[in-house]
Amino acid sequence: MASADNLRALDLKAFDDTKAGVKGLVDGGVTAVPSIFHHPPESLPDATPRPHRFTVPVIDLSAVGTARAAVVAQVREAVETAGFFQVVGHGVPEAATAAMLAAVRGFFEEPVEAKAPFYTRDLGRRVRYQSNLNLFKSRAANWRDTLFMELPAPEEIPSACRSVAPEYARLLQEGLGRTLLGLLSEALGLRPGHLEEEHRCLDGVSLACHYYPACPEPHLTLGTPRHSDANYLTVLLQDAVGGLQILLDHEADGGEKQKQPVWVDVPPVAGALVVNVGDFLQIMSNGRFKSVEHRVVANGVGPRVSVACFFRTDRTASSTTVIEPIVTDGDGSLRYSSTTAEEVIQRHYKVSSALKQQHLRL
């Protein structure tokens, strides 16, 4: 008689072999979430969320030219408390963001046979379509399919995205990314070009394009489980469906000084992009900037489409790129030791972020 683990392994392989992802399940008319997607109850959203008074800040970057010090102060407050903020007036044309979302949706809604050539678990490929990066290792699968593009790789990109994705990545790398790193450098008391020029924080760029089909039983699964980002910075483009949440600590109501973790929504804001600090910058800022855990809940409506732009090191340099604290806040004490980008990434996938100080007081 086959064990439960063996049956699960067979189910995972059967799902992976379709190369159709979660989208294929939905297209097939599934009315119940298969057991391989069932998450343990403690990891799922509470039926009655804890109350809180926190709102993820929205910062208008169009004021950088006339009130730069004020914008730096807003960014500093956001990254030192929540690790997340949204930006408007960011200079990325609406036509570019709309085209990027449409291209991603177009790819995932192509017939299975058109997408199958890109389906792979070979991490050596710069362009990878798959459902669940850690499908065979994670405790539960997630209700999400992904197209990952490590740029530059124009000839490998699916035709649905080939004319759009490189240009979108360029706009973020050469425009918004440079602006954000300049503001973050100043938030550390450094010159605007420090993080970009001295630490090469813009050298590597990749896009993780996610497609979250509508879920028939969203109370049983997650779109993306809790995690932080193993990079310098993430810029997220999300559509209007919503579902992104960040995990913060807040003081209990009634005057009690007891910190309690609470999931806070990051609601879609028209024209905005979501920005969050990654593990690399938390180390480099000596803990001043917070790399905060976040997740995406499953939704009964959809699909939800999002595009995360990751700024990290180029893969060829990750083993030699040193990530070390920049001490600018007075006493000179180090909260982190020097490491390499590759070591941070390896620890990220092996160890839960319980080892990091990521839960913050509201």
**Residue 361 is assigned to a structural domain of this protein:** no
Spell out where the chain has E strands. 58-60, 84-88, 127-130, 145-151, 204-212, 222-227, 233-238, 244-251, 259-265, 273-277, 294-297, 304-312, 322-323, 339-340
Least confident range of 106-110, 232-236, 325-329, 357-361: 357-361
**Residue 53 is assigned to a structural domain of this protein:** yes
Mean pLDDT of the chain: 91
**Residue 360 is assigned to a structural domain of this protein:** no
What range does the domain containing 292 cover?
Answer: 4-355
Q: Report the pLDDT value the prediction gives residue 255, as an integer from 0 to 100.
A: 46
Q: Report the pLDDT value the prediction gives residue 250, as an integer from 0 to 100.
A: 67
How far apart are alpha carbons 290 and 286 in whole angstroms?
Answer: 10
pLDDT higher than threshold 70 for residue 253? no
How far apart are alpha carbons 308 and 292 in whole angstroms?
Answer: 15
**Residue 111 is assigned to a structural domain of this protein:** yes
* Token pair of 301 as six digits: 């409506």
> How does residue 2 score in pLDDT terms, banded at 50, 70 and 90?
low
Q: What is the pTM of this model?
A: 0.92
Q: What is the CATH number of the domain that holds 61?
A: 2.60.120.330
pLDDT in tens, 258-288: 577 899 999 999 999 999 999 999 999 999 9
**Residue 234 is assigned to a structural domain of this protein:** yes
pLDDT in tens, 109-130: 999 999 999 999 999 999 999 9
pLDDT higher than threshold 50 for residue 242? yes
pLDDT in tens, 5-61: 899 999 999 999 999 999 999 999 999 999 999 999 999 998 777 788 899 999 999
Number of compact structural domains in the chain: 1
**Residue 64 is assigned to a structural domain of this protein:** yes
In whole angstroms, what separates CA 79 from the centre of its chain?
15
